[in-house]
């Protein structure tokens, strides 16, 4: 029997692997909102459901901002790292939102829904980012609203195409291709663990109406599995603990297509462009595994190199319970440290990181 849907608002009405814990307290300086809950480690059966058959997840860790109005596209074009002015109805795009110093305040998946531009964002930074963006609307005919309460965000992974064909007339045939239907939008996102992945975002009532049929074909699993799949896809997500820590290239956003270097100005654009064209990219994001659990292995934790224990050489960007034990990580790290010595979590004598291959290549830095 399937557990009830968790909406994008983050209010669970039931979840796999027990009740989702209440959000923990504490927010970084300059941020408002509630930190994301630490989800329990998924069971082996939940990982296997994705890898062997196919599964769906109600993604309570995301929120949705709707940008509406005649100037919505041009306004966001002047604020985000990617092109929203020419965003068409058939595609989605990754984008970042930077401070004036070029440091990421948030990361988004952006797409059009009719005349609305939607921004999928980590729930814990949504309120602060929406407030900040709204401050710069000024005379533009644009309005930003929290659409999380009206929408459901569902992630699907594995052999899910047959199940989805009962909801959508057509399926996206490429990464970041989008199709629309009566039940909302379906976006294909990068594969992870060699499995297909899709995001389904639609009105809560329409999504819930389709879930019984979907649940007959696919197992519902913890949203923590999606966090693991995002990490395995090498796709960083900006959450509260790492706000204003990274220039986009440090988290591979240039490689992932989240930065358009030909578009006009946006906050931090000069810093981002200078990093790209002056050969100053000396830090990148890598995939790794470390022993431990999420109560001790967290985003924002510093990394140390055994050959230079006095200063940190990197930081954990995202962390998720790994299928084969321990915690899988996306870590931002000095390239020199990555090449020259063992890297440890928290201190030079802390748990050692085991680095894994990203599913995409990085440019050779000079």
In terms of Cα–Cα distance, which of 286, 290, 333, 284 is closest to 308?
Answer: 333
Would you say residue 30 lies in a domain? no
8, 63 in Cβ contact below 8 A?
yes
pLDDT of residue 33: 54
Place of tokens 């979590």: 345
The Cα–Cα gap between 279 and 290 comes to 31
> How is residue 81 annotated by DSSP?
S
Residue 236 sits at the vertex; the CA angle it makes with 232 and 240, to the nearest 5 degrees, is 130
CB atoms within 10 A of CB 71: 17
30-33, long-range: CB < 8 A, 24+ apart? 30/128, 30/243, 30/244, 31/124, 31/125, 31/128, 31/240, 31/243, 32/127, 32/128, 32/131, 33/123, 33/124, 33/125, 33/126, 33/127, 33/128, 33/240
Cβ-based neighbour number of residue 10 at 10 Å: 22
Q: Verify that 308 and 227 share a domain, yes or no.
A: no
Whether residues 257 and 342 share a domain: the answer is yes
pLDDT at 364: 77
CA-nearest of 98, 77, 64, 94 to 142 is 77
Evaluate the CA torsion angle 177, 108, 94, 5 in order and state its sign.
negative
Question: Could you tell me if 178 and 295 lie in one domain?
Answer: no
353: Cβ–Cβ under 8 A, 6 or more apart, which residues?
Answer: 288, 289, 290, 303, 329, 331, 342, 343, 344, 345
Q: What is the pLDDT of residue 24?
A: 25
Q: Give helix then strand counts, H and E, for the chain.
A: 8, 17
- 224 with 322, same domain: the answer is no
Domain total for the chain? 2
Query: Has residue 19 been placed in a domain?
Result: no
Q: Is residue 115 part of a domain?
A: yes
* Cα–Cα distance measured from residue 359 to residue 322, given in angstroms and rounded to the nearest whole number: 16
- Same domain, residue pair 150 and 186: yes
Domain, as residue range, for 76: 44-232
Query: Which of these, 275, 230, 231, lies nearest to 250 by C-alpha position?
Result: 275
Distance of CA 191 to the CA centre of its chain: 14
First-to-last alpha carbon distance for the chain, in angstroms, is 55
- 276 lies in the same domain as 183: no
Say yes or no: 199 and 252 in one domain.
no
Per-residue pLDDT of the chain (366 residues), as tens digits, is 344 454 444 433 333 333 222 222 233 333 445 789 899 999 999 999 999 999 999 999 999 999 999 999 999 999 999 999 999 999 999 999 999 999 999 999 999 999 999 999 999 999 999 999 999 999 999 999 999 999 999 999 999 999 999 999 999 999 999 999 999 999 999 999 999 999 999 999 999 999 999 999 999 999 999 999 999 999 999 999 999 999 999 999 999 999 999 998 999 999 999 888 776 689 999 999 999 999 999 999 999 998 889 999 999 999 999 999 999 999 999 999 988 779 999 999 999 999 999 999 998 764
Residue 138 falls within a domain, yes or no? Answer: yes
Same domain? 126 vs 228: yes
Distance (Å, whole) CA 206 – CA 120: 19
């Amino acid at each position: 029997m399937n557990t009830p849907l968790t909406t994008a608002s983050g209010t669970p009405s039931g979840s796999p692997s027990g009740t989702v814990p209440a959000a923990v307290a504490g927010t970084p300086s300059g941020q408002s909102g509630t930190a994301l809950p630490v989800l329990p480690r998924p069971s082996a059966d939940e990982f296997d459901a994705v890898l062997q058959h196919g599964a769906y997840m109600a993604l309570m860790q995301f929120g949705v901002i709707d940008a509406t109005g005649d100037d919505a596209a041009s306004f966001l074009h002047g604020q985000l790292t990617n092109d929203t002015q020419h965003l068409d109805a058939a595609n989605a795009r990754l984008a970042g939102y930077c401070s004036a110093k070029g440091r990421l305040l948030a990361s988004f998946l952006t797409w059009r829904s009719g005349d609305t531009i939607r921004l999928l964002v980590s729930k814990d930074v949504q309120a602060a980012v929406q407030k900040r963006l709204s401050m710069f609307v000024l005379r533009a005919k644009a309005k930003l609203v929290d659409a999380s309460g009206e929408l459901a965000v569902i992630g699907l992974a594995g052999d899910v195409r047959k199940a989805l064909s009962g909801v959508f007339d057509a399926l996206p045939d490429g990464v970041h291709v989008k199709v629309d239907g009566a039940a909302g939008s379906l976006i294909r996102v990068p594969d992870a663990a060699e499995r297909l992945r899709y995001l389904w975002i639609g009105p809560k009532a329409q999504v819930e109406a389709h879930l019984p049929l979907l649940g007959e074909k696919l197992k519902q699993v913890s949203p923590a599995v999606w966090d693991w799949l995002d990490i395995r896809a090498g796709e960083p997500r900006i959450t509260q603990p790492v706000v204003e820590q990274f220039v986009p290239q440090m988290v591979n956003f240039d490689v992932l297509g989240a930065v358009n270097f030909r578009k006009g100005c946006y906050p931090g654009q000069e810093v981002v462009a200078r990093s790209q064209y002056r050969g100053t990219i000396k830090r990148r994001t890598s995939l790794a595994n470390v022993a431990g659990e999420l109560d001790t292995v967290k985003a924002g934790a510093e990394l140390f190199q055994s050959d230079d224990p006095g200063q940190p050489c990197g930081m954990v960007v995202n962390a998720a319970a790994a299928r084969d034990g321990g915690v899988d990580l996306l870590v931002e790290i000095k390239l020199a440290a990555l090449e020259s010595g063992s890297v440890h979590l928290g201190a030079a004598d802390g748990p050692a990181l085991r680095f894994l291959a990203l599913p995409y290549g990085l440019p050779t830095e000079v």
